[in-house]
Structure 1
Amino acid sequence: MTANVLFAGRPDAWPTYEPLLKAELARLGVDADLRNDFAPAEVDYIVYAPSGPVSDFLPFTRLKAILSMWAGVEKIVPVAPADVPLTRMVDSGLEQGMTEWVVGHTLRYHLGMDAHIQGQNGAWEPKAPPLAKDRHVTVLGLGALGTASAKALAALGFRVTGWSRTQKDIEGVACLAGTDGLQAALAQAEIVILLLPDTPATENTLNAETLAMLPKGAKIINPGRGPLIDDAALLAALDSGQAGHATLDVFRVEPLPPEHPYWAHPNVTVTPHIASETRESTAAEVIAENIRRFEAGEPLLHLVDRSLGY
């Protein structure tokens, strides 16, 4: 039987995704009809983004699965039918892009690059940075993106600690878990990277109390989710010198309003949610594979646990 697949991402993404998805479905031998204009009652699968045209799932009475185009599903879980499987986007392009961004900004802090880029003042100050083996870096969140980033940093020789809700085992990374583990992970973090999901349990992971656990002058990198940080507490920590600098890619409100104090703060670097993007070619592979799996009665990849929110 033909599987009817509705593309419900951003309309401007359809011309790119249509040929890629059709080719990948054909390559996998999936009998599918892919469109962006199905009648809801005829749809088996929705390739979905919250920025797309679908906001009400009730008319989709024969829906088999919702295949998110986004890594984060916090905006989808509250509105998606509880009895319909929901998958999140985990693809090689997303992982590589995030890893490159995280490694780049970690090296920027580690090597003290800002002092030379901004300090062209004629002062000759030959102070070399420590080697990576003498630099402690902590990654909060050891999902697909956090694990990939932690492994890459460990491969460069950094002393990497990873923290997650449940205990993980990653070669080259000192893995901690739970409340006590978080305190230990932060206590040695000269550079801390946030790659946790956005859930009620992770909101304000960095707050006044946890920021005080960091070594004085620690650098903060957040390509994860805006609500992971208590903004007022971070600004206070930056003003006091408890935090040395923050590079922030994600925010509670996006685009970040022009009047937000992050823009003008001398110890904050704002990047406009560019740490990583879903790459259409690799995303199409994941989406098509999940349709093949469901049609074949096999487990879906990257199935969301709704009790955890990711």
Structure 2
Amino acid sequence: MLLNVVGDYYLLDMPPSSMFRRLLCTSLPSHHHFNHHFNHHHFNHHHFNHHPFKPIFMNPSPHFSSSSSKMSNPRTPLSIPIPSIDKSNRSELLRALESSLGSSFNSQPLHPNPNPLIIVISGPSGVGKDAVITRLRSSRRNLHFVVTATTRPMRPTEIDGKDYHFVTKDQFLAMVEEDELLEYAMVYGDYKGVPKQQIRDFMGKGCDIVLRVDIQGAQTLKKVLGKSAVFVFLVAESEMAMVERLVDRKTETAESLLVRIATAREEVKHMKNFDYVVVNAKGKLDNAVKLMESIIDAEKAKVMQRNAII
């Protein structure tokens, strides 16, 4: 046992087997100075206060600390022995495994349900956007096609409220004034716009949203939605195939046909600004639809989900 002096304190070193390795002595009952050797240590004129001896315990023995922690929690449950895998039933084995691991197994999904997607489909005139969307809607559940508002005249095969919301120019401008449109533009002399409320309502129900817009509308939505939406460029297999489809529609005058073809040539140049490209070749509509479904499935399997807020 050694007595060491540190400042105004006296440290009493004791053997490791003792309950405590050190006692810090703040005072000793004495009225004189020490001038002698104690265990080979020399002390010169260290004054001891007149207070009772008050040891402060420091550095408890590791053995004592370990024993103390075990004693402080006497109710720690013992784990259930893991039974033989071949001879035990599943419930018994699971219970033993949970006991050994210290927690129950969670039955919640490891990956949360994917967020509703906004899929923006665009492309030049004559590439079959309507045909792809119609087939996609019939083959995929929880997919809502947002009906665009437009001021253009209704074609013979179109249905108001299903293909488009056909409105007057004054009605359309009133929608703009009330901030009811996510985006709008003038296309070939007519207004087109995407209503916001439809998107909010159906996304709230967990539905994926499909928007069909022209290239100009896609550019606007890219600025508004950024990476929170999926942008798909639909294209024909060739320029000739695209022009043939426009001619076969027989809905354009010669003048408007020239405008559409010239515009389509320019619009193809914007393909690089989209996330995906889908070729809708003549007679291969099913292939285009399957590719669209694969894109949606791939997006929903991503670890980092897109999260559109309208």
Q: Smaller-chain TM-score range?
A: under 0.3
Structure showing the higher strand proportion among its residues: 2
Q: TM-score by structure 2 length? A: 0.27
Q: TM-score by structure 1 length? A: 0.27
